[in-house]
Amino acid sequence: MKMTFRWYGSDSDNITLSQIKQIPGMTGLMGVLDYKAAGEVWTEEEIKAYMDEVHAAGLECEVIESVNVHEDIKMGLPTRDQYIANYCTTIRNLAKYGVKVIVYNFMPVFDWLRTDLARVIPEDGSNSLYFDEKELGEMTPVDLVRNTIDNCNGFTLPGWEPERLAELETTLERYKTITPDDLRANYKYFLDGIIPTCEECGVVMACHPDDPAWPIFGLPRIAHSQEDYDKIIALRDSPCNTVCLCTGSLGSNPDNDIPAIIRHFGEMNRIGAMHVRNVKYLGYHKFREAAHLSSTGDLDMYAIMKAIHDTCPNTYIRPDHGRMIWNESGRPGYGLYDRALGATYLNGLWEAICKSSD
Ligand SMILES: [Mn+2]
């Protein structure tokens, strides 16, 4: 297992590489060039600049996240071929700088959705990301976007770039005629276009789940259960077509048995990366993000780490989101302190599991 941390780059992250390096057991990053719009080529110069900084800090970067798939690919528009060609160029460029895994998603329009980015946790006064479908029911998609952008403390969040959302109404209208099967057909077209390049370069694609793990605003969503992922894996049978198993995203739906899903895809060798975090259920389609410790939420983190240990022990892990604690302010979900505590806790579980199974 390689413990990693998300870092947005020195221009857009308030957390420094030296802080990340000082977290015990931290081997590297799941990196991102957050200024790149979906569909754009990530150039060698841009990748090199990021990698040089990371390597100078004594960290690795074998996983890159949020190489976002252009909406025209998801909608199956004629312009998709150019965007797929661009995606292949980005894969080749990333491979030249040592990238082995690309985390992405195939969610229509929205990346993750929350109704509150800083909901106070009454038990301890910290705050975290929160979702209540009842609150969402009173919001239009445009309200939700405005609410999210306005509450990011001045930071951008992947999938919520204002430019990408400028044509929101038109895009939402277009999706009304796209069924989940249509979206899967477009997904297959995308995989057929990029997987040969991945195989040639030794890069694994890892699909992040829908978050929350159910349909929203009537949009087709096809990646929020074991059955969904079985279908995605079947779209293109290749070791390069894998899952980024995010425990908090899939775990937002209590019907998903996370350790069982890890074992299922781990045994198939189809887990490219893991995001590990905990959630606390507050009612039907209502939850908040919890500290990583099992007893503060509803996921069994020991069972999760044990499933990783037993079926995909060499995977990359990051403590996904964290709460905001100790008066820290920053990009919602991406503060330093709680994610560092999370990494340390997960490393502790890992050490105990390894030593007790010798
Ligand atoms: Mn995640």
Residue 104 bridge partners (DSSP): 207
pLDDT > 90: percent of the chain: 85
Looking at residue 245, its pLDDT comes to 98
Question: What mean pLDDT is reported for the chain?
Answer: 94
Q: Which of 50, 224, 321, 345 is catalytic?
A: 321
Other Cβ atoms closer than 10 A to 357: 9
CA of 319 to the centre of ligand 1 (A): 9
pTM of the model: 0.96
Say whether 55 is catalytic: no
CA of 140 to the centre of ligand 1 (A): 24
Whether residue 137 is predicted with pLDDT greater than 90 in this model: the reply is no
DSSP 97-148: TT--EEEE---SS-SS--SEEEEE-TTTS-EEEEEEHHHHHTS-HHHHHHHH
CATH number at residue 160: 3.20.20.150
pLDDT classification of 112: cutoffs 50, 70, 90 = confident
What amino acid is encoded at 313 in this protein? Answer: P
Average pLDDT of the residues in 312-321: 97
Total domains present in the chain: 1
Say whether 320 is catalytic: yes
Q: Which of 87, 111, 208, 229 is catalytic?
A: 208
Task: Give the whole-angstrom CA distance, residue 272 versus residue 317.
Answer: 10
Say whether 321 is catalytic: yes
pLDDT > 70: percent of the chain: 97
User: By residue range, what is the domain housing residue 218?
Assistant: 2-356
Looking at residue 155, its pLDDT comes to 75
The protein residues having their C-beta less than 5 angstroms from ligand 1 (an ion) are 246, 275, 320
Say whether 208 is catalytic: yes
Q: Which of 50, 97, 316, 334 is catalytic?
A: 334
CA of 111 to the centre of ligand 1 (A): 10
